[in-house]
Amino acid sequence: MTIGIAGLGLIGGSLAKAYKRSEGVTVYGFDASRQIEDIAKISGAIDDELNAETIKSCDCILIALYPQAAADYLRSAAPLIEAGTLVLDCCGTKRMICRTGFNLAREYGFTFVGGHPMAGTHRAGFAGSRADLFDGACMVVVPDKYDDIALLERIKRLITPAGFGQLSVTTAENHDRVIAFTSQMAHVVSNAYIKSPTAGSHKGFSAGSYRDLTRVAWLDPDMWTALFIENRDNLISELDIFIDAMSRYRAALASCDPALLRQLLDEGRMRKEEVDG
C-alpha cells in the first residue's frame, strides 16, 4: 500500500506516523515547509517527498490542510493523480472542499471522498503529532454517491492501517451543520469562558469541570479561524441558540427566581440524558 499525505501538521504528521506502524506501507509526504518535510523523513514518518513523480504511485492521497489550502493543493495536483486513485481530504468543514473535489474528480478521473478524522489534541504541528492519535477513532466520510458499498469498503481498507475504528457516512451539508455544534461551539465557548478575570485565581479551586470546559480553549487560532469562517452560517445559528439559552439563566438569577432556575437546570439535565442515553 502506498499513501500520499499533503500537509504534515498535527493531523497529517499523525497519519504518516500511524501508517508507518504497518508493514508494507510506503508513505510519501508533502509540506509547505521544507524543514518539516526533512524532519518527517529523518524521523521515519515518511519515506520520501510527495511530488509530481511519487504521487502517481499512490493508492490513496490524504490532504491534511486548511480548507482553502486543501482546495488549492487539489487543483494543482489533480492533473498528476492517476485515474482511480482515492483522494480523501481531512478538513474540518466539508461543503467547499467537497464541491471542489467532486468536480475535479469527474474532470480527471480519480475518486474523491470528503473526510474528517474525529480525533485531535490542543497541540499543533508535526511536533505534536503521534502515531496513536486515530486508534479507535471514527472517520467521517462524504462520498459523491451515498450508497456505493464497494467504495465504502475500499475506504475502510485504506484507512484501517492508520488505526481508525469506525466509518461514519454523511453529506457535506449535514456534516457542517452537526460539527458546528459538536466541535466548533465547544471551542468558542471554552475560549470565551477562559477570558474571565477570575480564571487567574483558579488554582486550588478547580477540578474536573474546570479542566473539561477549558481544555479546548488551548487551540490553534489560525486553523480554527479558517474553520469558523468557512462554516459561519451554521456556527452563528448555534451561537444564537446558546446566547438565547444563557440569557434565560441570567434572567432567572437577576429576578431571583429559584423555581425558574431549577426548571432550566432540570431541562438541561434531562436533555443530556436524552441525547446521550
Order of strands, edge to edge, in the sheet holding 48-49? 48-49, 26-30, 2-6, 60-63, 86-89, 111-117, 138-143, 166-169
The pLDDT tens digits for 45-57 are: 999 999 999 999 9
Q: In the structure, what pLDDT confidence band is assigned to residue 204 with cuts at 50, 70 and 90?
A: confident
β-strand pairing of 111-117 with 138-143: antiparallel
Q: What does 119-164 look like in DSSP terms, one character per residue?
A: ---S--SGGG--TTTTTT-EEEEEESSTT-HHHHHHHHHHHGGGT-
What does pLDDT average to over the chain? 94
Q: In the structure, what pLDDT confidence band is assigned to residue 240 with cuts at 50, 70 and 90?
A: very high
How far is it, in rounded angstroms, from Cα 128 to Cα 167?
25
Residues 6+ apart with CB under 8 A from 44: 20
The pLDDT tens digits for 136-188 are: 999 999 999 888 899 999 999 999 999 999 999 999 999 999 999 999 999 99
Q: What is the DSSP letter of 45?
A: S
Rounded mean pLDDT, 261-273: 96
Residues 6+ apart with CB under 8 A from 80: 52, 55, 56
Give yes or no for a contact between 17 and 131, defined as CB atoms under 8 angstroms apart: yes
Query: What is the pLDDT, as a whole number, of residue 106?
Result: 96
For the entire predicted model, the pTM comes to 0.89
Query: What is the pLDDT, as a whole number, of residue 277?
Result: 82
Backbone angles phi, psi at 136, to 5 degrees: 80, 0
pLDDT over threshold 90, residue 205: no
Grid cell locating 210: 474546570
pLDDT over threshold 80, residue 39: yes
Give yes or no for a contact between 28 and 58, defined as CB atoms under 8 angstroms apart: yes
How far is it, in rounded angstroms, from Cα 243 to Cα 129?
35
How far is it, in rounded angstroms, from Cα 6 to Cα 37?
10
Rounded mean pLDDT, 199-225: 88
Query: What is the pLDDT, as a whole number, of residue 123?
Result: 74
Q: Name the one residue in this structure whose C-alpha cell is 502517481.
A: 56
Q: CA–CA distance from 174 to each of 141, 170, 181, 190 (Å)?
A: 11, 7, 11, 24
Give yes or no for a contact between 102 and 76, defined as CB atoms under 8 angstroms apart: no
Q: CA–CA distance from 256 to each of 99, 242, 261, 263 (Å)?
A: 51, 21, 9, 13
Query: What is the pLDDT, as a whole number, of residue 56?
Result: 95
pLDDT over threshold 80, residue 93: yes
User: Residue 263: which of 251, 217, 275 has the closest Cα?
Assistant: 251
Query: What is the pLDDT, as a whole number, of residue 38?
Result: 94
Lowest mean pLDDT among 2-16, 58-72, 76-90, 115-129: 115-129
Answer with the residue of higher pLDDT: 146 or 241.
241
Domains and CATH numbers, the chain: 2-170 (3.40.50.720), 175-276 (1.10.3660.10)
